[in-house]
Chain A
Amino acid sequence: MRILRVIRPVVLFAGWIAIAQPLCAQERESVILKAMKDEMKRTMTDAKYEGHDKPFYISYGINDRHVFSAHATLGALVRSDMFQSRNKSVRLLVGNYTFNDESLDNNLTSPPNANDLSVPLDDDYYGIRRALWASTDVVYKGAAQKYKKHQLTLKEENKKLEDLPHREFATVPVVTKIDFAKPLNLGQERWNNYVKELSAVFKSFPDIEGSAAALTITYGDEYFVNSEGTTIVKPFTTVYLQCGAYMETEKGEPFFDNLVRYARTPEELPSLADMKAEVEKMARKLITAKDNVALEEEYNGPVLFLGPAVAEVFSNAFFSYRDNLVASNTLASTMDRSEGSSGMDAKVGKLFIDNTFTVTARTSLQKFNNISLLGSYDIDDEGVVPQENLVLIEKGILKNQLNDRSLTKTGQVANGHASGPGVLEISTSNGQSTQALKQALIDAAKKDGLEFALIARKISSGGDGVPEIYKVNLETGKEELLRSARMGSGGLKNLKRVPAVGKEKQVVNLPTSGGNLVSFIVPDALLLDNMDAAPLRIPYQEENKIYISSPLKN
């Protein structure tokens, strides 16, 4: 049973030493660690719930975060805040590694704690213990009751555990890593000014009706201890920059775009001058978007994906509800007709995608070609070190899934991916140049009898900005940006037969639905057949009649 309060929109581990260390002076001095360990020890030793078993496993996590956020429009701050918060997570298991309170149930959350206690912001030893104590009490009672119920279920059904779909808790090595964040002198004024300057770019674009720039910098330390002896302190920093703009045509047709940048540290953001140039480029593209040609009817045929769109295709294919490289720990039920984890289990050892592809999890790799891999981590949320270079798909055949410590099938192992996919490298054996791929696209479109072909540079299936879909003239090769096209996200079926792939590799960091970033090391181009695109039809609210002239225009 667990109670999770850690909020991790994007967690990156910056600059900490991946070397096992003995307990250092800092740990000895860490009030937070001492409080976590002392309360855990007390619970393991003294907690007794009448008529129920004692816990065999406890883990505590505390996320000590400082969050700076600034939001500006047209050169002026709308908000600029800095705050600290400390969130906790508690997991407690009753039973044993093979059969416990999480074994037969898909609901792993604890009942709400009517009078929960927040984690103090100060290094307040007893206050921290009280916060953990309040949650532990509720989680333990829920877990103990559930374990008893599971024991009764086995007895009543007169079945052996192995005859039922069940979840085991993996044993893993004990890890000790202590690395506190270095003091960060953020310099709020500098970043306030950065955001203000970016937002001021839109002053030169009177047709843009609404615009803003926003920056969020989160940093601090994550603490994790468990009753097996694992002790981890790791620093993190996340940086998220967003510049958005919106306008409408006179007929009320809306156009918007959103420029997003992630970085490991604030210093890794583009320079102000570079970023202003990017914002200006986006604004120019937006105000001319209404003049772009429209996709008039649905398209089915070959599409060449370039740049970030390649990673988007793989992300959509590998992390969908039905086919997911992250192993589901949902138990299959006789009443449940959905395939759950068993659907993917059945595909292991079989051809999964085109046999030219190999997919490797390189979760702890921090840089590729000197580019930061923002999804990288060295230890997952359960205190497990990710397996190095874990081959998930080899020459098209599914070999492994990414697992946390909850195992639902024999043969699964905890490979340190409780924090998500991290870093995925997609390799191919027969890459070609982008130019060759474009010619292959044109040839394929002609062969299909189409009047034009499509190139996608941004799909934006997650709603991050607008798609960038280009119409390609089959005779001249000329590309025109479409103003209203939506690319079908595709799926695994589109990767079964891949006509051609780019030979260069690129890094793309994408957010997942869970909020974590995943870093993709992918080919720079991907040609797929039988892809769908359709006109984007946004219902207009009303005619955008201007009754008062814009201040930017007078």
Chain B
Amino acid sequence: MLLGYIKRRLGVFLLFMLPAFAVRAQDSLITVLEAELARSFTELKKATVPAYYIDYRVDDVANLHLNTSFGSLVRAGSDKSRVLVSRVKVGSYEFDNTHPQGPDDFEMHEGSDPTELPYENEKIALRMGIWMTTQNEYKQALRGFKAARQARERTTTPVTTAPTNDFSKETPTRYYEPPQADLITAFNGGVWKEKLKKYSALFLKNGDLVEGDVSLQFSQERKYFITTEQTQVVQNNTSAYIHVNGSIRASDGDVIPLHLSYYAVTPDGFPADEKIMGDIEKMIASLEKLKTAPLAEPYSGPAILLAPAAGVFFHEIFGHRVEGHRMKKEYDGHTFKAKIGEYVLPKTLQVYFDPTLTAIDGKPINGGYKYDDEGIKGERVTVVDKGMLKTFLMSRTPLENLARSNGHGRASIGMEPVSRQSNLIVETTKGVPMEDLRKMLLKECKRQGKPYGYLFRDVVGGFTVTDRYNPNAFNIFPTMVYRIYVDGRADELVRGVDLIGTPLAMFAEIQATGNDRDTFIGFCGAESGYVPVSAASPSLFVRRIETQKKPRQHQEATLLSRPGSQPQP
């Protein structure tokens, strides 16, 4: 579960619509999918062990990338693909091939292998790809069902709770968006190559920088989802990211990286050159400061997490532990499984996930969608109300007393969906100004006899572990960390710090929240692949955190100066 690079965003965009005749021509794929689904279901219902459900999910994707380094274009390309993933279920909603088979059932069942379909609408070629996939899925389902039944027969432990279904019953949905124009082909590559080269050339001004990369990725996706329950969802999605990666070599050889990202629905929504270049200049200035910053020793004591860092903190320590499908796995730690109705956070805090949001405080966010990857409409889900745990993020894997999905079944292309986070929002009823958080920090430092506390200004991501075979710890990767001294000295920038801890202990240490809010935009990786997510939170004052040294990347000084570092005549 890794939350990736920071992404900040901008822009809202109107997408071109095609006339109706073009719509029909482009969507012959849905016609083929429907026909093949109906044919397969008719035949598989007649099998000795009949299928009770089939779905097809096709991601029709075009990608484009441009990579520059120190003012030079080093990679450029585009591609398109069409990936099918299918689920065939045998048995019944109550007990099917995905039924948990005990504590060692890490995967629950074999899962789907994605199939790359032709991107051209040649009917027989599409049908053959769909047919092969359906056949294979059915065979896997048969094996899974047999194993699940055998596991049930072996079970001697008395069942103490009411059995839950293996697959939720949902109301069928019909949703259709017309196709968009081909934005990837229309993309002005020449202009953007020059822009990115100009951005990354800023890194040439400092000879100590060892990395100065700026890249752009633009994806246009059309997602098809149909089921034998008569759900049919066809929706579009575009996303564009600019990533800036800079590293500097400190005098001791330590290579220190910083990252900067921008998210927009299409490249038109990116900030103006002046803004991006200004941000890169600031990043370079921060790297220059980090070059001489002292290395921090492991520490335990008070800390403030500024808003973006606090968002990642909540995503890792809290968000992954309310993903519902984990509660059904016997190997999971079940941190909150029995805690619905209990206070798990301070009563001043609310936590909800809202995939219907496209922006927070006017800032576009990337964790939203209309329908999830199981064809369920994305719902706002209040998970914690006034500190009390209310529910979990649900896919179509039901839990006791939570029989339905709330539209959080998500997956990356070609992966099978499970419950995942979307846009995480933490709100407080008692936010205080930053000055007050600092005062609280200093007071707590004095009480604990600490000469300083920590301020985590920015982070690049983090990870956590939720199973019961490993320590249920989290690790967050800060990039800009300051010491705030009790004796009134100026804040001191340090390097080489990772923030670590265990979730339940951390919840009890949250003492106060700021009256501010900022949003971290990134990608989250878990068993169903990488999905875009955001996390918005106020700043936090935490009574005790723990840090450890960051792994070091060492590089000697170069023997010769970097060619072309200064503007050439």
Contacts and interface: CB of A to CB of B under 8 A. Distances in A.
A498 to B, nearest CB: 47
A74 B128 contact: yes
Contacts of B81: 78-79
B124 A551 contact: yes
A491 interface: no
A76 B120 contact: yes
Given A118-B74, A542-B139, A548-B135, A78 B117 contact: yes
Interface of A: 39, 42-43, 46-49, 72-79, 81, 83-85, 114-115, 117-122, 124-127, 129-130, 133-134, 137, 140-141, 203, 209-210, 542, 545-552
A74 B123 CA distance: 9
A552 B389 CA distance: 54
Interface string B534-569: 000000000000000000011110111011100010
Given A83-B77, A118-B67, 13 more contacts: A75-B124, A78-B81, A78-B116, A115-B211, A117-B74, A118-B75, A120-B74, A140-B559, A210-B132, A547-B138, A550-B128, A550-B131, A551-B128
Nearest to B134: A548
B563 A137 contact: no
A72 B22 CA distance: 24
A542 B146 CA distance: 15
A203 B564 contact: no
Contact of A129 (B78, B120, B127, B563): B563
Contacts of B67: 118
Contacts of B122: 74-76
Interface string B111-135: 0000011111110111111011011
B134 A73 contact: no
A298 B128 CA distance: 39
B77 A548 contact: no
Contacts of B75: 85, 118, 121
Nearest to B561: A133
A335 B116 CA distance: 50
B47 A547 contact: yes
B559 A114 contact: no
B210 interface: yes
B125 A76 contact: yes
Contact of A133 (B117, B131, B560): B560
Interface string B61-89: 00000010111111111111110000000
Contact of A127 (B71, B134, B247, B554): B71
B228 interface: no
Contact of A115 (B39, B119, B127, B555): B555
Interface of B: 36, 39-40, 43-44, 47, 67, 69-82, 116-122, 124-129, 131-132, 134-135, 138-139, 210-211, 247, 255, 553-556, 558-560, 562-564, 568
A127 B564 contact: yes
Among A72, A85, A120, the most chain B Cβ lie within 10 Å of the Cβ of A120
Dominant secondary structure at the A interface: mixed
Nearest to A203: B124
Contacts of A119: 74
A209 B135 CA distance: 11
8 contacts: A76-B126, A78-B81, A124-B71, A124-B72, A126-B71, A127-B72, A130-B72, A547-B43
Nearest to A124: B72
Contacts of A542: 139
B181 to A, nearest CB: 20
Contacts of B43: 547-549
Given A39-B563, A115-B211, A121 B76 contact: yes
B124 A114 contact: no
Contacts of A122: 72-73
Contacts of B36: 551
Contact of B73 (A42, A83, A121): A121
Among A115, A118, A124, A141, the most chain B Cβ lie within 10 Å of the Cβ of A115
Nearest to A67: B77
Among B44, B75, B247, the most chain A Cβ lie within 10 Å of the Cβ of B75
Contacts of A46: 560
A120 B73 contact: yes
Contacts of B74: 117-121, 127
Nearest to A45: B560
B563 to A, nearest CB: 4
Contact of A48 (B80, B128, B559): B559
A144 to B, nearest CB: 10
A39 B559 CA distance: 13
Contact of A81 (B71, B79, B124, B131): B79
Nearest to B209: A115
Contact of A130 (B118, B120, B555, B564): B564
B259 to A, nearest CB: 14
Nearest to B131: A551
A42 B563 CA distance: 10
A130 B209 CA distance: 13
A130 B563 contact: yes
Contacts of A42: 560, 563
A223 B200 CA distance: 27
Given A81-B77, A547-B44, A551-B124, A118 B69 contact: yes
A120 B197 CA distance: 11
A478 to B, nearest CB: 38
Contact of A43 (B73, B560, B562): B560
B79 A79 contact: yes
Contacts of A210: 132
A501 B332 CA distance: 68
A296 B191 CA distance: 67
A546 B211 CA distance: 55
The list of the 8 closest CB pairs from A to B, nearest first, reads A126-B564, A127-B72, A76-B122, A76-B118, A120-B72, A74-B125, A118-B74, A551-B127
A122 B194 CA distance: 12
Nearest to A541: B139
A73 B116 CA distance: 10
Nearest to A52: B559
A75 B125 contact: yes
A547 B562 contact: no
Contacts of B76: 83-84, 121
B79 A137 contact: no
Contact of A126 (B78, B126, B127, B563): B563
Nearest to A141: B556
A117 B555 CA distance: 14
Nearest to A126: B564
Among B82, B255, B555, B563, the most chain A Cβ lie within 10 Å of the Cβ of B563
Contacts of B255: 114-115
A551 B131 CA distance: 7
Contacts of A130: 70, 72, 562-564
A376 B78 CA distance: 33
Contacts of A121: 73-76
Given A115-B247, A117-B70, A547-B43, A137 B558 contact: yes
Given A118-B75, A548-B134, A73 B129 contact: yes
A42 B562 CA distance: 12
Nearest to A84: B76
Contacts of A546: 135
B391 to A, nearest CB: 39
Contacts of B139: 542, 545, 547
B72 to A, nearest CB: 3
A73 to B, nearest CB: 5
A119 B560 CA distance: 18
A417 B119 CA distance: 44
B453 to A, nearest CB: 33
A78 B119 contact: yes
B135 A547 contact: yes
Contacts of B71: 124, 126-127
Contacts of B125: 73-76
Contacts of B73: 120-122, 124
A49 B560 CA distance: 10
B239 to A, nearest CB: 21
Contact of B128 (A81, A84, A552): A552
